[in-house]
């Protein structure tokens, strides 16, 4: 008997408890709100912290990146890519073509001033040319496929239609991803082959002060194997190309080295640097082809006209052949 | 025409992950892809909250804005869908999306992500409604069958709501009034409003009206 007493009491207490709880269940609107808030913590602040990335959640799936509820950086990335990057990029690209067209109209093709000798000297050997064309060829494909990603939707897509454009862009992406490595190899070779010729020196200052003779006929500041302008091309290719290689490798192996926020920055940097590089290389292609008589041969068969070399690389000719500069053509008579 | 939206009530979600499982099963989602995921913040601490997230089908969808091949489109019900035949797997939509919705069946090294996959609000893709091709690429087209997304349909606490935006927000508003508080309709500001709080759909309609 003594054992059963507590049980009875418990049963009574239970029934009592239920009767007390029943009115609360019947009229939930009268009950005070359940206190789920924490003292001193503002609900707005909690969600603000989630919005700004200060609070990262947990997930039960293996991909822990999924724990980020909301990444606001994406909106900034979109705004920059679709806004200033595209807009200023198109100005830079349009600008370089406008400048070159204007330059061609005013200056025309830069001719060899003196009489041609008919003799040639070797400027770049086969290996140097191969390294150049490896870099150049891959760069052109990379540039075109890259520009297509940024501008193709507004230019080629309306012309080609959705499916052909998507197929083309898909192959462009594949080419971009794999030729990137050819570009990096070419860049390395170029650096190793030519860095010793591209150390800045006193002659370059004179070259820049005379603007390399670009704007005045018959002006040919002395230069060794690479003049000041070519050194600018070399270093912008090495530094710009190096940055493109670095950001490109990061982007091609997503999350191997970088977080999402870093990948977004790398993508913006990659595109911005690439646009500047394309502008520089377009100018380089211009002066190496239509812009200057005799220049293409240096990277064509590697043999340049001796008179061309005397005018544009007088000190280099002196080094190679031993002849003194300035004996074979006049720089314009001072009495004029 | 109804504007379809998702709403997850953080005061109700119990982190059961049934929405994730339902979605995977209904749509036969590619291995490794979770079109919907459940995230818990302040886990094990006071104020712990759980939210189920998927594509929010934004009014001004960032994925659509940045896609290089323009493979996204928005249905007249506001659902953001994409064409897998056009997708090149570049990953840009994933960079832009605030909610981490776009995912890829492969790791992505050397740009081999495969075709992007994301929540379709259970409404398939550009193929013929309820066709075999549509199901294989995008999953079930429940909207065409007259049903709502399965994740929300089978949510046991009805934390996850899916459907006509007006009805969804009415239900949520009633709850907030009844219990005296709400955590805000999570993600709605990002997905459906402009920076100064205007509804993007209304803006769009006004623009079209002009």
Lowest mean pLDDT of A94-103, A181-190, A245-254, B200-209, name the range. Answer: B200-209
Nearest CA-CA partner of B115 in A216, A170, A299 = A170
Contact check, Cβ <8 Å, B11/A68? no
Residues B97, A75 contacting (CB under 8 angstroms): no
Give the whole-angstrom CA distance, residue A5 versus residue A260: 67
User: Among 3.30.420.40, 3.30.465.10, 3.40.1190.20, 1.20.950.20, what is the CATH number of A73-321?
Assistant: 1.20.950.20
E strand or H helix at A87:
helix A86-107
Residues B62, B48 contacting (CB under 8 angstroms): no
Q: Following DSSP, what letter does each residue of A294-316 receive, concatenated?
A: TTGGGTTTSEEEHHHHHHH-HHH
CB-CB neighbours of A205 under 10 Å: 12
Interior angle at CA B145, CA B140 and CA B151, nearest 5: 50
Q: Nearest C-alpha of chain A: how many angstroms from B68?
A: 5
Torsion sign, CA atoms B100, B102, B104, B107: negative
Q: What's chain B's average pLDDT?
A: 89
**For residue range B98-143, what is the model confidence (pLDDT) as tens digits?**
999 999 988 778 778 899 999 999 999 999 999 999 999 999 999 9
Nearest CA-CA partner of B6 in B185, B196, B201 = B185
> Does residue A184 surpass a pLDDT of 80?
yes
Q: Is B28 helix (H, G, I), strand (E, B) or coil?
A: coil
Q: Which of A41-50, A313-322, B71-80 has the highest mean pLDDT?
A: B71-80
Q: Does domain B4-209 have CATH number 3.30.70.20?
A: yes
Tokens encoding B178: 């009844």
Domain ranges of chain A: 73-321
- Is ipTM beyond 0.95? no
- Residue in A74, A152, A178 closest to B95 by CB: A74
What interhelical angle do A228-252 and A260-288 show, nearest 10? 150
Torsion sign, CA atoms A274, A279, A284, A285: positive
Domain ranges of chain B: 4-209
- Report the residue count for chain A: 336
Contact check, Cβ <8 Å, A74/B65? no
Using pLDDT thresholds of 50, 70 and 90, give the confidence band for residue A92: very high
Which residues, numbered 229 to 288 in chain A, qualify as contacts with chain B under a Cβ-Cβ cut-off of 8 Å? 252-256, 260, 263-264, 267
Q: Is B160 helix (H, G, I), strand (E, B) or coil?
A: strand
Calculate mean pLDDT across residues B140-163.
Answer: 95
- Using a 10 angstrom Cβ sphere, with 0-12 exposed, 13-18 middle and 19 or more buried, the burial of residue B192 is buried
Q: Is A30 helix (H, G, I), strand (E, B) or coil?
A: helix
Using pLDDT thresholds of 50, 70 and 90, give the confidence band for residue A35: low
**For residue range B18-47, what is the model confidence (pLDDT) as tens digits?**
999 999 999 999 888 999 999 999 888 888
Q: How far is CA B210 from the centre of its chain?
A: 30
Using pLDDT thresholds of 50, 70 and 90, give the confidence band for residue A233: very high
- Return the residue matching tokens 């280099």: A316
Which residues are CB-contacts of A304 (< 8 A; sequence separation ≥ 6)? A120, A121, A122, A123, A294, A297, A298
Please report residues of B whose CB lies closer than 8 A to that of A248: none
Q: Is A124 helix (H, G, I), strand (E, B) or coil?
A: coil
Bridge partners, residue B41, by sequence: B49
- Torsions phi, psi for B119 (to 5 deg): -55, 135
- The residue in chain A having the minimum alpha-carbon distance to the alpha carbon of residue B45 is A38
Contact check, Cβ <8 Å, A254/B40? no
Please report residues of A whose CB lies closer than 8 A to that of B34: 61, 63, 66
Contact check, Cβ <8 Å, A66/B100? yes
Residues B141, B81 contacting (CB under 8 angstroms): no
Tokens encoding A175: 């080419």
- Residue in B65, B99, B181 closest to A70 by CB: B99
> Does residue A336 surpass a pLDDT of 50?
no
> Does residue A17 surpass a pLDDT of 50?
no
> Does residue A32 surpass a pLDDT of 70?
no
E strand or H helix at A119:
none
Using pLDDT thresholds of 50, 70 and 90, give the confidence band for residue A213: confident
Contact check, Cβ <8 Å, B42/A74? no
pLDDT value, residue A40: 58
pLDDT value, residue A51: 81
Q: Which of A45-54, A56-65, A232-241, A310-319 has the highest mean pLDDT?
A: A232-241
pLDDT value, residue A55: 81
Q: Nearest C-alpha of chain A: how many angstroms from B165?
A: 21
- Return the residue matching tokens 């006509």: B164
Tokens encoding A108: 């025309």
pLDDT value, residue A1: 42
**For residue range B51-69, what is the model confidence (pLDDT) as tens digits?**
999 999 999 999 999 999 9
Please report residues of A whose CB lies closer than 8 A to that of B180: 33
Q: Nearest C-alpha of chain A: how many angstroms from B134?
A: 17
> Does residue B210 surpass a pLDDT of 50?
no
Which residues, numbered 5 to 64 in chain A, qualify as contacts with chain B under a Cβ-Cβ cut-off of 8 Å? 28-29, 33-34, 36-38, 41, 43, 46-47, 50-51, 55-61, 63
> Does residue B180 surpass a pLDDT of 90?
no
Please report residues of B whose CB lies closer than 8 A to that of A254: 91, 108-109
- Decide which of B49 and A18 is more confident: B49
Q: What's the half-sphere exposure (Cβ side, CA atoms, 13 Å) at A328?
A: 20
Using pLDDT thresholds of 50, 70 and 90, give the confidence band for residue A39: low
Which residues, numbered 73 to 112 in chain A, qualify as contacts with chain B under a Cβ-Cβ cut-off of 8 Å? 74-75, 77-78, 81-82
Q: Nearest C-alpha of chain B: how many angstroms from A64?
A: 10
- Residue in A72, A150, A263 closest to B95 by CB: A263
Calculate mean pLDDT across residues A160-183.
Answer: 95
pLDDT value, residue A20: 43
- Decide which of A323 and A112 is more confident: A112
Contact check, Cβ <8 Å, B62/A74? yes
Bridge partners, residue A122, by sequence: A303
Contact check, Cβ <8 Å, B42/A46? yes
């Amino acid at each position: 008997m003594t054992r059963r007493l507590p049980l009875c009491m418990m049963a009574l207490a239970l029934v009592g408890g239920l009767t007390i709880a029943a009115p609360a269940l019947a009229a939930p609107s009268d009950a005070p709100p359940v206190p789920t808030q924490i003292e001193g913590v503002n609900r707005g602040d909690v969600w603000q912290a989630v919005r700004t990335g200060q609070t990262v959640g947990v997930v039960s799936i293996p991909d822990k990146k999924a724990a980020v509820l909301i990444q606001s950086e994406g909106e900034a990335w979109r705004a920059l890519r679709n806004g200033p990057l595209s807009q200023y990029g198109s100005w830079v690209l349009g600008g370089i073509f406008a400048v070159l067209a204007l330059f061609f109209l005013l200056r025309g093709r830069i001719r060899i001033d003196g009489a041609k000798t008919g003799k040639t000297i070797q400027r770049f050997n086969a290996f140097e040319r191969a390294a150049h064309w490896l870099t150049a060829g891959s760069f052109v494909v990379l540039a075109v496929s890259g520009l297509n990603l940024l501008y193709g939707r507004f230019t080629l897509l309306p012309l080609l239609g959705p499916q052909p454009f998507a197929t083309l862009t898909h192959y462009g992406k594949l080419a971009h991803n794999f030729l990137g490595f050819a570009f990096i190899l070419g860049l390395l070779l170029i650096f190793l082959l030519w860095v010793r010729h591209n150390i800045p020196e006193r002659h370059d200052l004179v070259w820049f002060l005379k603007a390399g003779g670009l704007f005045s006929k018959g002006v040919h500041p002395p230069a060794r194997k690479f003049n000041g302008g070519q050194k600018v091309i070399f270093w912008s290719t090495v530094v710009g190309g190096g940055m493109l290689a670095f950001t490109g490798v990061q982007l091609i192996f997503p999350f191997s080295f970088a977080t999402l926020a870093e990948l977004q920055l790398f993508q913006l940097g990659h595109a911005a640097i690439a646009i500047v590089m394309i502008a520089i290389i377009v100018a380089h292609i211009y002066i190496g082809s239509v812009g200057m008589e005799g220049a293409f041969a240096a990277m064509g068969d590697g043999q340049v006209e001796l008179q061309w070399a005397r005018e544009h690389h007088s000190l280099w000719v002196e080094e190679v052949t031993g002849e003194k500069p300035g004996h074979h053509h006049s720089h314009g008579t001072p009495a004029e | 025409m109804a504007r379809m939206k998702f709403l997850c009530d953080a005061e109700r979600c119990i982190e059961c992950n049934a929405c994730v499982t339902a979605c995977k099963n209904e749509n036969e989602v590619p291995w490794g892809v979770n079109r919907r995921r459940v995230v818990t913040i302040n886990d094990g601490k006071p104020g712990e909250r759980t939210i189920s997230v998927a594509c929010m089908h934004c009014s001004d969808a960032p994925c659509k804005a940045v896609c290089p091949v323009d493979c996204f489109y928005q249905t007249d019900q506001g659902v953001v869908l994409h064409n897998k035949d056009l997708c090149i797997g570049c990953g840009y939509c994933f960079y832009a999306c605030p909610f981490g919705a776009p995912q890829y069946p492969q790791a992505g090294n050397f740009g081999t992500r495969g075709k992007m996959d994301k929540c379709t609000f259970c409404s398939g893709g550009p193929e013929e409604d309820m066709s075999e091709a549509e199901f294989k690429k995008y999953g079930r087209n429940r909207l065409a069958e007259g049903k709502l997304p399965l994740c929300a349909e089978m949510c046991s606490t009805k934390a996850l709501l899916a459907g006509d935006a007006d009805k969804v927000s009415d239900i949520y508003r009633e709850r907030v009034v009844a219990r005296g508080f709400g955590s805000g309709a999570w993600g709605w500001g990002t997905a459906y409003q402009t920076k100064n709080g205007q509804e993007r759909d209304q803006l769009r309609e006004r623009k079209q009206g002009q």
